[in-house]
Structure 1
Amino acid sequence: MTRRSCAIYAVGIVCAHLLIIGIGLVVAQVFQTLIHNRLKREITLTEGSRVFETWKNPPPPVFMQFFFFNISNPVDFLAGRKPVVSQVGPYTYREYRPKENVSFVENGTKVSAYQPKTFVFHPDQSVGDPDMDMITTINIPAVAVMNKVKDSFLRSTMASMMMNSLKVSIIMTRPVNELLWGYKDPLLTRVRTTNPEIDEYFGLMYKKNGSNDGEFVYHTGEADYMDYGKIATFRGESKLSLWTSDQSNMINGTDGSAFHPLLSKKERLYIFSPDLCRSIFMEFEKDVEVKGLPAYRFTPPRDVLASKDENPDNEGFCVSPKECLGTGLLKVSVCRKGAPVVASFPHFYLADEKYSNAIEGLNPVREHHQTFLDLNPTTGVPMRASKRAQVNILVNRVPGFPKTKFLNETIFPVMFINETVVIDDVSAAKLQKLLLMVTLVSNLPLIIVGLGAVLLLVLICLIIRERKQKMTTNEKTFYSPVCNKGSDDKNGDNNVVMTPITEKS
């Protein structure tokens, strides 16, 4: 057997083995299963894991933007006309949120932590000075006091007289800084003389700078990777007791900072929000790219804040039939000390049009007012997020308070927040390397099949070349005439004999 024949046989054997092994690995998904199991073991809330340190102290900067609605026709509004508002903002703060008092509980199957938040003002990303800029808006303490005593004629009469003596109106003008971080309210100070449990200070973010929401206990994800980062208990409780159904009181999902790896587009992600006093869910919207890395965008659908008529599951969020609002709104007075606070998306995005139409100056736009979460599907790492929520106050006529006699029931927007985060460059580079390794290992069987296919092409070329050379050799073999001189001389004639002559190639 010639060297060329041996080479053909060798290539054929190697090619066959590569194709058989590669196709077998592709069908069995051996390497993909191995790398997925490795990810499930690595992405856990345990000491020494790949994600534990970044979970405790997230490196990407978080920014909190505050936008206020300034009412320009307060007199007309109190007379029963449609309020006209203009958006003022943003006032931007850098948010620091490292986890503290991290400790493992229940034999290391869960981890507890507190998450204090600290806010530092960033003037270069803000529209003005929060100490100097004035906002005219609803007097939330006054509305809260009126709603607290409205069922008692005696108490409402006394409160009305108190408001008149203090010259407290339903509309107030305050600096941004006071509205956010708190000020001593004269009405609350007077009420506190008879109700010591009442705090005389009020602010939309009062006592939230440097404080925490309470203790969270999380699943580590070791037992089941799908439970990674999910909240087991909040403030020592596994469920809430604020709402009227067991389903509404459930604490589902994570705190929004961690999600399990190997995400599916079909799944529904749950996030528990202490600010909303409930869990919300998000669904896949589209594929996006963040800093060159693939991500799935999840957003809350209309069903999250739909009315009980559109989504019967939301009936449990109605504290009473009278307090069950329309689509796009959630009354959170149960966790706001009875104040008529209503949560929504900014500019009443995804809400019934009647709410945005009742306020002149609102224009809901998805790009500016949608809450979204971009997650890397392989690792579950948040790549980019924007949490947007609006604080509203329900104002209407209150018996016993003449100042409200011309008011129409209105969900008045006070402020909305935009809490954003984008993965930093260092973390993105680390994730890029990890995804490259995952891709290479997962696609190793395909690489083997590809090499086998290349060798198959080489084998075909060698076989074709071998056949061509054999045909060429046969064509170069021919016969030439040779004379038998001895016989010719004697007989006087020529005998021609054909002798094969082969040219050497």
Structure 2
Amino acid sequence: MGCFSIKCGLLAGSVFGAVIAILGGILIPVGDMIIERTVKKEAVIEPGTTAYDNWASSEIAVYRQFWLFDVKNPQQVVQEGAFPEVQEKGPYTYKTRYLPKANVTFNPNNTASFVLPMGAIFEPSMSVGPEEDTVTTLNLAVAYNGTSDGPYNIFTGKDDISKVSIIDRWRGETKLSFWNDTYCDMINGTDGSSFAPFVDKDVPLYFFSSDICRSVSASYEATMNLKGIEVYRYSLLPSTLASPVDNPDNKCFCRNYETTKNCTLAGALDISSCSDGRPVFISLPHFLQGSEYLREVVLGLHPDEEHHKTFLDVEPITGFTLNFAKRIQANMMYGPAKDITVLNKVKDYTLLPLAWLNETATLDDKTADMFKRELISRIDMLEIVQQVLLIAGVIIFFVCLIAFFCVRRKSKTNLG
């Protein structure tokens, strides 16, 4: 009778272990469904969601650091047509986008409209000198205070979460009017501050930048650890500013055959059509990823991938950009001109770097802790519960089953 009770108990233990293991297995897809449903709900841009709180607030400081290029040999350039020799001076740092989004309006078609106020507060502690420092260069303002960017009209994701944050209209238009080309005038992706949740690192991220008057894409580079949070780092590919010779898609961005050497120069984008006609070209700092020629006719440039590339660090579950560095350089084209006698000695068109900026922001420790507590820790806890139930159930099942057969064999031996 006692042996029968032990065997019954062991069989019950095996059944219990199997049930626990099955429960753990069931929790895996169920837990994933719960996580997916919760994230999609919180990723919608509407009052009361996590996405809205991050989107509408201005708690994360955005800084713009400027490095100005000081021409060391201006007299030789003007009088002898010498190559300019430049030395960067900086950073001069301003706190920008410290104001929340303005004129926020939610529309019936599941879009939201807003403008981005652009303030500029000088930060002496993060700068090499006062704002009154002087440099020698061509005359072009590189920072206006009290301006705004937009208005933007973006999808909230309420009806389709895959469209969340994607720009529907900029300045009231669904396309640009700078390039006179269907492809180049497209407004693709978001503004870069967030993307749809559950990011696939094999798929490029698209975003529009009003600073360079065009849309670009960024590709996965590496998985990084940002204050205990796993993020995907995305960066611009060299093809973004490649010459049309290497990337035919860029042909419509080439505006002037003479100044771009028949559109063979790589690394510079002519934005004169969206900068009031001024001969302004945008590039990466120090002509990173640009043609060697650009650095041969301007001395003193030293491109460095780590310090001069643009990147985004995106949390893959939510699609939030938690850290970024947007680095661009403003250049002005100058060269032979009949009406400007001071340039009589200049023999060829040259892109002169004026300044490069690093617009950067990263989540602070408080926000990182909140992010880990509200999302990461809950996901980790659910995964731990799933694994514990599954492993414990399997162990109990096999231990009880093995013990059952051992007891039964022993009882048969005793009977024999």
**TM-score, structure 1 as length reference:** 0.76
Classify the secondary structure of the residue corresponding to 2:149.
coil
Name the CA distance, whole Å, in 1 between partners of 2:303 and 2:170: 33
Contact 1:114–1:212 (Cα < 8 Å) also in 2: yes
Name the CA distance, whole Å, in 1 between partners of 2:14 and 2:67: 70
Classify the secondary structure of the residue corresponding to 1:215.
strand
Candidates 285, 296, 300, aligned match of 1:357: 296
In structure 2, the partner of 1:387 is: 326
Q: Deviations over 1:345-374 (max 9, x none)?
A: 001111112212322111100111011100
Q: Over aligned residues, Cα RMSD in angstroms?
A: 2.2
Alignment pair present for 1:410 and 2:350: yes
Give, in angstroms, the shift of residue 444 of structure 1.
5.1
Classify the secondary structure of the residue corresponding to 1:249.
coil
**TM-score, structure 2 as length reference:** 0.92
In structure 2, the partner of 1:204 is: 142
List aligned pairs for 1:70-149, cutoff 5 A. 70-78=70-78, 79-95=80-96, 96-107=98-109, 109-131=110-132, 133-140=133-140
Candidates 235, 239, 242, aligned match of 1:299: 235
Alignment pair present for 1:227 and 2:159: no
Contact 2:161–2:196 (Cα < 8 Å) also in 1: yes
Give, in angstroms, the shift of residue 221 of structure 1.
0.8
Q: Deviations over 1:293-328 (max 9, x none)?
A: 100000010111111111111111123544654211
In structure 2, the partner of 1:182 is: none
Contact 2:15–2:397 (Cα < 8 Å) also in 1: no
Contact 1:56–1:99 (Cα < 8 Å) also in 2: yes
In structure 2, the partner of 1:490 is: none
Classify the secondary structure of the residue corresponding to 2:136.
strand
In structure 2, the partner of 1:43 is: 43
More displaced stretch, 319-328 vs 228-237: 319-328
Give, in angstroms, the shift of residue 243 of structure 1.
0.5
Q: Deviations over 1:83-134 (max 9, x none)?
A: 1111100011122141011111125x01111110111111111101111x11
Distance 1:360 1:464, change over 3 A: farther
Give, in angstroms, the shift of residue 255 of structure 1.
1.2
Q: Deviations over 1:260-298 (max 9, x none)?
A: 111011111111111111111111000101001100000
Name the CA distance, whole Å, in 2 between partners of 1:426 and 1:454: 41
Classify the secondary structure of the residue corresponding to 1:374.
strand
List aligned pairs for 1:443-458, cutoff 5 A. 445-458=386-399
Give, in angstroms, the shift of residue 416 of structure 1.
0.4
In structure 2, the partner of 1:12 is: 14
Classify the secondary structure of the residue corresponding to 2:150.
coil
Candidates 224, 235, 247, aligned match of 2:183: 247
Classify the secondary structure of the residue corresponding to 1:101.
strand
In structure 1, the partner of 2:361 is: 421
Candidates 193, 201, 216, aligned match of 1:265: 201
Distance 1:312 1:320, change over 3 A: same
Classify the secondary structure of the residue corresponding to 2:370.
helix
Counterpart residue type for residue 86 of structure 2: V
Q: Deviations over 1:185-228 (max 9, x none)?
A: xxxxxxxxxxxxxxxxxx2223xx12202311110011211211
Give, in angstroms, the shift of residue 23 of structure 1.
4.0
List aligned pairs for 1:273-422, cutoff 5 A. 273-322=209-258, 324=260, 325=263, 326-407=265-346, 408-422=348-362
Contact 1:117–1:211 (Cα < 8 Å) also in 2: yes
Give, in angstroms, the shift of residue 31 of structure 1.
2.5
Name the CA distance, whole Å, in 1 between partners of 2:238 and 2:301: 19
Q: Number of paired residues?
A: 407
Name the CA distance, whole Å, in 2 between partners of 1:226 and 1:437: 23
Name the CA distance, whole Å, in 1 between partners of 2:364 and 2:338: 54
Contact 2:337–2:344 (Cα < 8 Å) also in 1: yes
Candidates 360, 366, 370, aligned match of 1:430: 370
Structure 2: any 5+ residue segments left out of the alignment? none
Name the CA distance, whole Å, in 2 between partners of 1:255 and 1:284: 18
Higher RCO by CA contacts (8 Å cutoff, separation 6 or greater): 2
Contact 1:35–1:442 (Cα < 8 Å) also in 2: no
Distance 1:460 1:58, change over 3 A: farther
Name the CA distance, whole Å, in 2 between partners of 1:392 and 1:341: 6
Name the CA distance, whole Å, in 2 between partners of 1:400 and 1:93: 37
More displaced stretch, 53-62 vs 267-276: 53-62
Contact 2:93–2:122 (Cα < 8 Å) also in 1: yes
Name the CA distance, whole Å, in 2 between partners of 1:400 and 1:320: 19
Contact 1:31–1:444 (Cα < 8 Å) also in 2: no
Counterpart residue type for residue 82 of structure 1: F
Structure 1: any 5+ residue segments left out of the alignment? 141-202, 478-505
Classify the secondary structure of the residue corresponding to 2:215.
strand
Give, in angstroms, the shift of residue 14 of structure 1.
1.5
Name the CA distance, whole Å, in 1 between partners of 2:157 and 2:388: 32
List aligned pairs for 1:160-199, cutoff 5 A. none
